[in-house]
């Protein structure tokens, strides 16, 4: 049994932790122990305590990360953090590392250097790539690589991973350079949830009588305005009577009083914002309840949030979707266990194409579709990974020369019938990530590759 002791910074209510726990239960021979977690929000900390099963001596600390005594925390070999996104968000000035919240990423880097985990997962918003004209993101990746990690950044579109919400987040997975393991981006297949419509997520089963399901009391003007807005429309695209139009000339944000389209994934659930930003039901003239929002974030119905309605809304909107976290952590665990899984190449590059290795033979920056690492560059045949258009292949990246034979390709022969791409239109590869006996742990056997048929995903018509 391989056990990873997990620590979390900026833990929020526990979306990532819950997903990690579910992933560990799905991967044979792996276990995750939640050793400690910390956040500055007291309600989020209480929610985490009440819903996440901690290690026997596990702790949840409500503290400012800038005042956190890392020497007083137990050692961990896995780390997760979603550093505050306020200064990287598309909605805002995108101050990046020059803002009030942007520099908080440096405490995560400090934790990486202090604890030296075998792997880490970092999450942030799409806007992190553009903050400070791209310099902020490059700085963060540089510091992660400089700490001794091979980092795979990828823009995950969670609606392609079974989450009933169009939520796009940059996830950076780092594997320590001395680990004989290479993380691959899990293929976007809908697996457990083939229907990612918000109607199904909210209505099945009914939410009546569940915790965190209080209705919002709207002014009559809001109710009347919503009654004129059709599913998928917002306050600026709907044909509203003059007295219900918003007196806003400089901003026409698409989310303002936008009603859900019941047959599509929801738009992004946020944790803050004033009137018109609360996500609105497609047929009833009201905002969603917090339980309905939690459904869109794939929290289970027995996950009860603590705090006021506003606090719970904030916790839900700032969390990592449980199902998205489960899929990513499962890929990490499969990587270390040597279990093959369907994967695609990363869609974020750290430098423009054409960057090259330094004179010492170590990778300074790789072209788009490659990992960020300071380890010696991998052979070209194994580092090229196209994220689209590749046929489904069963490859064993950890295969030995004895297994391959002289002059034999590491890719196994494909079956006669070409597998169909998944619902996203992206064809996947099936690989057994490299993992040494040291990484696998004593007595852990490498699992045989899954049949190609299990890697197919049903189409749902989602583009």
Burial status of residue 442 (CB atoms within 10 A of its CB: 0-12, 13-18, 19 or more): exposed
| Angle of CA points 112, 114, 119, to nearest 5° | 35
Is-catalytic flag, 198? no
Owner of token pair 């709907």: 238
Give the strand pairing for 168-176 and 149-157: antiparallel
Q: 3-class DSSP state for residue 138?
A: helix
- End-to-end CA distance of the chain, in Å? 40
Task: State how far the Cα of 276 lies from the Cα of 217, in Å rounded to an integer.
Answer: 13
Angle between helices 15-26 and 322-337 (to 10 degrees): 40
Give the strand pairing for 30-39 and 2-9: parallel
Q: Where are the alpha helices (DSSP H) in 158-308?
A: 198-203, 220-227, 290-296
Owner of token pair 């003007």: 221
Catalytic residue among 85, 198, 306, 428: 85
Torsion of Cα atoms, 278 then 279 then 281 then 285, to 10°: 40
Task: State how far the Cα of 371 lies from the Cα of 385, in Å rounded to an integer.
Answer: 10
Question: What are the phi and psi torsion angles at 72 (to 5°)?
Answer: -90, 0
Beta strand ranges found along 12-147 (DSSP E) = 30-39, 54-62, 78-81, 119-125
Torsion of Cα atoms, 382 then 386 then 390 then 394, to 10°: 30
Q: Is the peptide bond before 205 cis (omega within 30 degrees of 0)?
A: yes
Owner of token pair 């909605």: 91
Angle between helices 135-146 and 105-115 (to 10 degrees): 10
Bridge-partner residues for 2, per DSSP?
Answer: 30
Give me the sheet containing 185-186, strands edge to edge. Answer: 185-186, 341-344, 429-431, 394-395
54 close to 17: Cβ distance less than 8 angstroms: no
324 close to 19: Cβ distance less than 8 angstroms: yes
Give the strand pairing for 119-125 and 78-81: parallel
Give the active site residues. Answer: 85
């Amino acid at each position: 049994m391989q056990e990873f002791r997990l620590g979390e910074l900026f833990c929020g209510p526990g979306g990532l932790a819950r997903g990690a726990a579910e992933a560990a239960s799905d991967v044979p021979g792996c276990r995750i122990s939640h050793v400690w977690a910390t956040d500055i929000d007291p309600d989020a900390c209480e929610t985490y305590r009440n819903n996440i099963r901690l290690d026997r001596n596990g702790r949840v600390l409500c503290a400012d990360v800038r005042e956190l005594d890392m020497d007083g925390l137990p050692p961990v070999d896995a780390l997760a953090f979603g550093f505050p996104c306020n200064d990287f968000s598309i909605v805002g000035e995108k101050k990046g590392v020059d803002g009030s919240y942007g520099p908080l990423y440096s405490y995560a880097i400090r934790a990486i250097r202090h604890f030296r985990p075998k792997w880490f997962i970092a999450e942030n918003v799409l806007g992190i790539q553009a903050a400070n004209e791209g310099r902020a993101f490059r700085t963060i990746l540089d510091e992660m690589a400089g700490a001794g990690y091979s980092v795979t950044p990828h823009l995950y579109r969670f609606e392609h991973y079974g989450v009933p919400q169009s939520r796009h987040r940059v996830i950076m997975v780092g594997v320590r350079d001395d680990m004989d393991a290479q993380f691959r981006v899990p293929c976007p297949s809908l697996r457990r949830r083939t229907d990612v419509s918000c109607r199904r997520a909210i209505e099945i089963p009914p939410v009546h009588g569940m915790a965190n399901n209080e209705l919002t009391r709207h002014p009559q003007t809001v109710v009347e305005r919503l009654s004129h807005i059709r599913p998928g429309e917002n306050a600026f695209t709907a044909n509203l009577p003059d007295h219900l139009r918003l007196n806003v000339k400089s901003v026409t944000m698409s989310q303002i009083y936008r009603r859900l389209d019941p047959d599509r994934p929801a738009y992004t659930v946020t944790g803050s914002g004033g009137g018109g930003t609360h996500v609105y039901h497609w047929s009833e003239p009201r905002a969603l309840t917090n339980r309905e929002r939690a459904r869109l974030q794939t929290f289970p119905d027995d996950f009860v949030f603590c705090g006021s309605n506003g606090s719970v809304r904030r916790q839900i909107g700032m969390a990592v979707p449980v199902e998205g976290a489960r899929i990513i952590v499962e890929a990490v665990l499969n990587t270390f266990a040597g279990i093959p899984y369907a994967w695609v190449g990363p869609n974020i590059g750290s430098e423009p194409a054409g960057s090259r290795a330094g004179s010492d033979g170590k990778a300074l920056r790789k072209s788009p579709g490659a990992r960020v690492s300071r380890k010696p560059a991998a052979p070209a045949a194994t580092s090229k990974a196209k994220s689209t258009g590749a046929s489904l292949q069963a490859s064993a990246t950890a295969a030995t020369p004895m297994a391959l034979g002289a002059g034999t390709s590491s890719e196994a022969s494909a079956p006669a019938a070409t597998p169909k791409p998944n619902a996203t239109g992206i064809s996947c590869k099936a690989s057994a990530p490299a993992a040494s006996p040291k990484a696998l742990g004593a007595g852990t056997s490498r699992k045989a590759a899954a049949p190609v048929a299990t890697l197919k995903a049903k189409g749902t018509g989602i583009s």
